[in-house]
């Protein structure tokens, strides 16, 4: 059976993982969205530039379109933005088989569950990564920081399943990853951290380090609401621990621009609906009252509309 991993989504993370796989000798394929993007890629001799601490490495990566061939795809890593997952997967769906396995690397929550529902026979894994990268050009990625990737299978029935063996390819690529028996609490915690940081950075156009000061007196109540939300989703974490985790991320990434601020700067659709939107909807369904979270969501939506960006 073909173990060739395909990477769907040529954003910063997709390029980074493609580069890391290819430089380790893994035969991976990058799936591009348009014929123009593929032509451009091939005009550059299929060379992907990986930049790290000022040094640039040229790596050959084969790219194709979803409908370039009928070869079945059995290992698919999806690295698109959360709002692009459904459309991107429809384009590749004819090449998936019942035994195909999908790895989802999106921010927030909501897009993952939609994929699990759309592809009920395939094994769909969820992941969360702290790998840092940004795209300098269509074929150039800057590797800003080595993080860790947590992967897991959200299906717990009939019993939590072990990691599939093909994930050893990630180890071969030098990707630091760990199998999580319960991946949903990991994604919920990441979502809570993103709810606390990303909207404030987008609203105030500030780096992560300025978040507590810019958020002002509502920051404490926001974290309390996020803790209540996590508790309603069976995430076992004390309130103080959540507050400490949020502040630790703010400190560790103080000089960074959050992904949402980067999206706004690039005039790109943000992942607001998969972060704040999902948090507010889940709070409603759980019967919680979250006035600070709701107000933040509305404020951010108005801000995005004023900038000419979609509010979802």
By beta-carbon proximity to ligand KPL, the closer residue of 190 and 227 is 190
Tokens 């348009």, located at residue? 34
Contacts of 45 (CB under 8 A, 6+ apart): 60
Q: How far is the CB of 272 from ligand KPL (least distance, A)?
A: 12
Annotated active-site residue in 75, 135, 190, 227: 190
Q: Is residue 190 annotated as part of the catalytic site, yes or no?
A: yes
The distance of closest approach from Cβ of residue 271 to ligand KPL in the complex, given in angstroms and rounded to an integer, is 8
Whichever of 258 and 282 has its CB closer to ligand KPL, that residue is 258
**Looking at beta carbons only, is 41 or 134 nearer to ligand KPL?**
134
CB of 3 to ligand KPL, least distance (A): 30
CB 35 to ligand KPL: min, Å:
31
SS3 61: coil
**Which residues of this protein are in contact with ligand KPL, per CB under 6 A?**
107, 193-194, 197-198, 208, 249, 253, 256, 258-259
Name the DSSP class of 273. I
Per-residue buried b or exposed e for 202-227, using 16+ beta carbons within 10 Å of the residue's own CB: bbeebbbbebbeebeeebeebbebbb
Residue 54 phi/psi, 5° resolution?
Answer: 85, -20
**Residue length of the chain:** 312
Question: Nearer to ligand KPL by C-beta: 33 or 245?
Answer: 245
Please say which residue, 23 or 214, places its beta carbon nearer to ligand KPL. Answer: 214
CA 49 – CA 60 distance, rounded (Å) = 9
**C-alpha to C-alpha distance for 236 and 231, rounded to whole angstroms:** 7
Q: How near is the Cβ of 47 to ligand KPL at its closest, in Å?
A: 29
Question: Which among 178, 170, 190 is positioned nearest to 7, based on CA atoms?
Answer: 170
Residues with catalytic annotation? 190
């Amino acid at each position: 059976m073909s173990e060739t991993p395909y990477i769907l989504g040529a954003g910063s993370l997709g390029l980074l993982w493609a580069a890391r796989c290819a430089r380790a000798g893994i035969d991976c394929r990058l799936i591009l969205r348009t014929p123009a993007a593929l032509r451009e890629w091939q005009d550059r001799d299929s060379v992907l530039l990986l930049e790290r601490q000022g040094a640039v490495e040229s790596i050959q990566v084969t790219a194709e379109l979803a409908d370039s061939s009928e070869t079945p795809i059995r290992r698919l890593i999806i690295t698109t933005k959360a709002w692009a997952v459904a459309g991107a997967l429809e384009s590749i769906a004819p090449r998936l088989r019942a035994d195909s396995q999908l790895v989802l690397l999106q921010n927030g929550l909501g897009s993952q569950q939609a994929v699990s529902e759309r592809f009920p026979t395939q094994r769909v894994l969820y992941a969360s990564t702290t790998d840092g990268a940004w795209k300098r050009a269509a074929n150039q990625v800057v590797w800003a920081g080595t993080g860790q990737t947590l992967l897991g299978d959200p299906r717990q029935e009939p019993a939590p399943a072990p990691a599939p063996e093909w994930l050893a390819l990630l180890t071969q690529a030098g990707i630091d990853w760990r199998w999580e028996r319960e991946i949903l609490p990991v994604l919920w915690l990441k979502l809570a951290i993103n709810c606390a940081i990303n909207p404030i950075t987008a609203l105030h156009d500030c780096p992560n380090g300025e978040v507590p000061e810019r958020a002002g007196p509502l920051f404490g109540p926001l974290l309390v609401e996020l803790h209540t939300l996590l508790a309603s989703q069976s995430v076992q974490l004390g309130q103080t621990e959540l507050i400490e985790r949020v502040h630790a991320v703010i400190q560790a990434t103080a000089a960074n621009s959050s992904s949402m601020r980067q999206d706004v700067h690039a005039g790109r659709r943000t992942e607001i609906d998969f972060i704040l939107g999902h948090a507010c909807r889940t709070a409603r369904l759980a019967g919680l009252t979250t006035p600070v979270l709701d107000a933040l969501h509305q404020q951010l939506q108005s801000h995005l509309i004023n900038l000419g960006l979609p509010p979802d």
